[in-house]
Structure 1
Amino acid sequence: MKLTTKLLATAALATGLAGAAFADGHEPLQVGFIYVGPTGDLGWTYEHDQGRLAVEEHFGDQVETVFLESVPEGADAERAITTMILGGADMVFTTSFGYMEATNAVAGQFPDVLFEHATGYLREHPNVSTYSARFYEGRAIQGHIAGQMTESNIIGYIASFPIPEVIRGINSAYLHARAVNPDVEFRVVWAYTWFDPAAEGAAAQALIDAGADVILQHTDSTAPQAAAQEAGIYSFGQASDMAQFAPAPRISSIIDNWAPYYIERVGMALDGTWEQADTWDGIGPGMVEIGEMTEAIPEEVRASAQEMIDAIAAGEYHPFTGPINRQDGTAWLAEGEVADDGTLAGMDFYVEGITGDIPN
């Protein structure tokens, strides 16, 4: 891949390393990251940025990293990605579903730049790869715990946008909560944001007012943790540990570990072995982790949750194993049948037992 020397085109680009050259005189590979939220969200974007820092630490002066944070999805993303490339980026990671079309549009204009898009599915050009985590595996563990921790039998779920990734998580958490507590009820509030502490906090409070005594979230701020702590109910960390924001009665978290993937793919770019790929990893490979299960969880529940973690990691258990019906009661998976990745990737329906509609 041709490496070029260009000045960064905007002061908004934050540089991780100075422009140190290789010992043999070659310029460092400039790797860019486009973030949907601030690096200080201590959730989704924070963990992607931890991956960026891991790349810096691993490769030293072979790479230079840059990032743009809080980039809106849509047309603004296309402009931000283009600006980053004009500033010298040789490889760009776009880290939110809503960057999918922008990533592919810009990739067509810059065929010598490598693009990696998180959680999407479009690869319209040979220089675009996609990657995601099987978050639904972690949601299964959360549901298993939540179903046994609730006393009101009402579990609240703060959802971001009605895309397959989020719908999969709701379904997985519900199925595993219901498996241990047939009386459990899920109440879903759609926040229509990835990161908005005020909106997320309001959503959490609405669920608490409706009787929820356990809160799950697929949004990125710690605001739901704070609301849960103030109300004295249980919550789970999202994307990162978040332990310092709700030490009690927080019970666990789902953690996204991007560092190994970023190191692997940047290494391939450096040695010329990068190829287009579609990666979807989970608990087994370590892309999805379960944070500490605190002592607020009864010992037997911790033990059964760990058994499920181990079974998923070993490939002995799949969270979407039949019998499972769709919300309208029609059969989806027969006894022992496992969902295929194609259906999961495009999931646009609730499973039986969840009330309410998925927004358009």
Structure 2
Amino acid sequence: MKFTKLLASAAVALGLASAAAADTTKVGFIYVGPVGDGGWTYEHDQGRLAVEEAFGDKVETFYQENVPEGADAERAITQMALQGADLIFTTSFGYMDPTNNVAKKFPNVKFEHATGYKTAENVSVYSARFYEGRAVQGHIAGKMTKSNTIGYIASFPIPEVIRGINSAYIHAKKVNPDVEFKIIWVYTWFDPAKEADAAKALIEQGADVILQHTDSTAPQAAAQEAGGVITFGQASDMAEYGPMPRVSSIIDNWAPYYVARTQAVMDGTWETVNTWDGISTGMVEIGEISDAVPADVKAEALAMVEALGNGSYHAFTGPINKQDGSAWLAEGETADDGTLAGMSFYVEGIVGEIPN
């Protein structure tokens, strides 16, 4: 009789455990770099931690870091789906096709791809208007450069990166007609050695301001070592390098989006969306502008942040020509999202070609 009761108790316990497991929403994250990169992946992981904080034991999160873009990504995403993930965030542009390939095989799993444009019934895409932050950085850079040479460490020649270069250049040139951009393409998102080498090369070419669209703090360290060079935090605040060389930053705040999309899966209300938010929603934040920036320049930059946030100013407002001199935006005309999303040209004044 006692044995029967034990079996019954065990069965009840197993049943409760199974029910609890069934009630837990599993959320996975695929990262292109390490969570300790101090930039892009670090901020995505802060979003993951925010999901845990918001939902407690109702969620289980897990991640894989340092996943190369391409075939390795498809294997990693597949493995995550096989582990029972209900929702998977894939957080780099090169994961776009792998995400969609895996999504076809797992129609009951929801996928969210960062910075891409291909959606499906169970695939959403999301990105941030980083170019708004670049406009602010360009203004500060143009005002503060003494050599009139601004260096830019670019990752891959995709629209997101090209948009940022153009936005920064337009706003630097607007306040300093003598400004020149030197651009080095490093073909990586995260490689501290390559990023440091690029920063040093740009400084040797006379750049006293360095902007970056890569994920590590190595350019900050290189600038600090050189002395007298201004930098901006990328994706994360990188405040440990303030007040100089880091004078401000673009901060990617993914937490509210990750919490909302996890909630939607829990509620059964998740549907395919294409999200592209910026300063207005707080997905893009401008890190504190340090006292190394003159007070009047800081005030101008903060006014631009406010105008971008309330929609009274657009970072791409004409007149703007393309690099070849052909007209793009007329006086007062603003760029449409379609053109920005597929941007594949430099604006007039930038020297050099966009690599294939």
Match of 2:122 in 1: 127
Q: Which of 170, 175, 184 is the equivalent residue of 1:175?
A: 170
Post-superposition CA distance 1:65-99 (Å, at most 9, x none): 01000000000000000011111111100000000
- 8 Å Cα contact 1:21/1:27 also seen in 2: no
Q: Which one has a larger percent helix, Structure 1 or Structure 2?
A: 2
SS in 1 for 2:249: strand
Contact 1:174-1:186 at 8 Å conserved across structures: yes
Kept in 1, the 8 Å contact 2:321–2:348? The answer is: yes
In structure 1, what is the Cα distance between the partners aligned to 2:353 and 2:315? 22
Percent identity between matched residues is 72
Root-mean-square deviation (CA), in Å? 1.3
Is the 2:138–2:170 Cα contact (8 Å) retained in structure 1?
A: yes
When Rg is computed on C-alpha atoms for both structures, the one with the higher figure is 2
Match of 1:9 in 2: none
Unpaired runs of 5+ in structure 1?
A: 1-19
Q: Identify which of 96, 99, 107 aligns with 2:103.
A: 107
Equivalent residue number for residue 241 of structure 1: 237
- Please tell me whether the aligned partners of residues 243 and 292 of structure 2 are also in contact (alpha carbons under 8 angstroms): no
Paired residue for 2:206, among 211, 228, 231? 211
* C-alpha contact 2:231 2:246 (8 A) present in aligned 1: yes
Distance 1:255 1:86 in 2: 33
Name which of 211, 218, 224 aligns with 2:219. Answer: 224
> How many residues are paired up?
340
Identify which of 129, 145, 148 aligns with 2:143. Answer: 148
Report the residue type matching 1:344 in the other structure. L
Which residue among 288, 292, 296 is the counterpart of 1:296?
A: 292
The answer to whether the aligner puts 1:337 opposite 2:333 as a matched pair is yes
- The residue number in structure 1 matching 2:346 is 350
- Encode CA deviations 1:179-207: one digit per residue, 9 max, x unaligned: 00000000000010000000000000000
Query: Cα offset for 1:248?
Result: 2.1
1:231 and 1:152 map into 2 onto residues whose CA distance is: 15
Q: What residue identity is the alignment partner of 1:220?
A: D
TM-score normalised to structure 1 length: 0.93
Instruction: Give 1:334 deviation, angstroms.
Output: 0.4
| Residue of structure 1 equivalent to 2:183 | 188
Deviation per CA, 1:153-184: give whole Å up to 9, x if none.
00000000000000000000000000000000
Work out whether residues 22 and 28 of structure 1, in 8 Å CA contact, stay in contact via their aligned partners in 2. Answer: no
**1:325/1:332 contact within 8 Å kept:** yes
Q: CA separation of 1:61/1:187 partners in 2, compared to 1, >3 Å: closer, same or farther?
A: same
Q: What aligned pairs does 1:55-74 form with structure 2 within 5 A after superposition?
A: 55-74=51-70
With the length of structure 2 as denominator, give the TM-score of the two structures.
Answer: 0.94
For 1:266, the equivalent position in structure 2 comes to 262
Structure 2 unaligned residues grouped into runs of 5+ = 1-15
2:27 corresponds, among 27, 31, 42, to 31
CA distance in 2, matches of 1:251, 1:282: 21
Q: What's the offset of the Cα at 1:146?
A: 0.4
> Alpha carbons of 1:250 and 1:25: their partners in 2 closer, same or farther (altered >3 Å)?
closer
Q: Aligned residue for 1:54?
A: 50
Task: Label 1:271 to 1:21 Cα distance change in 2 as closer, same or farther (>3 A).
Answer: farther
Give the residue type in structure 2 aligned to 1:199.
K
- 1:190-247 per-position Cα deviation (integer Å, ceiling 9, x unaligned): 0100000000000000000000000000000000000111111111000001111454
1:94 corresponds to: 90
